[in-house]
Amino acid sequence: MQMSERGRELIREHEGLRLTAYMCPARRWTIGYGHTGADVHEGQRISAAAAEALLEADLARIEPAVAEAAGAATQGQYDALVSFAYNVGPAALRRSTLIRKHRAGAHEAAAREFGRWVCAGRWRLSGLKRRRAAEAALYRS
C-alpha cells in the first residue's frame, strides 16, 4: 500500500509549507512540510520543489515502518497512520495504544486514540487537536 494524494494533502495542510527553517514547538529545527533532521539548521532556505522532495523522502522512510506496524488496513486507515507517524515518528506509533487497538481490529477505539496525541512537551496545541481530528476522520473513512 502507498500513501494516497488525500493523505499527502492532509500532511501538507497540517504541517504547512515553510521555506525557511524554524524552531517547532517540540524544539527541533524544521523546514518544508515538517521535515526535521540533522540536515536542517538555523537560517536554511529551500525551494518549494525541494520541500516536496523532502516530503517524498520522509514518506519513503516512514511508510515501510507504518506498513509493518499496522498490518492490514484500509487506504484511509493507512493514510491516517502515516500522517500520524510523520508527525510523532514511527517509534511512537509502534509503542502506541492506537496501533495496538488497530491491530486488534478495534478500529473505533483506535480512531479515538488519535485525540490523545495533542501535546508538544507539556503544551496542548490547538493545531494538533485539529490535525488529530482530521486523522481520526480519515482513519474512519
Catalytic one of 5, 9, 13, 24: 24
63 part of the active site: no
Residue 137, SS3 per DSSP: helix
SS3 string, 36-87, reads ECCCCCCCCECCHHHHHHHHHHHHHHHHHHHHHHHCCCCHHHHHHHHHHHHH
Largest CA-CA distance found in the chain, in angstroms, rounded: 45
Catalytic one of 5, 15, 42, 108: 15
Identify the residue whose cell numbers are 499496522: 70
24 part of the active site: yes
Q: Indicate which residues carry an active-site annotation.
A: 15, 24
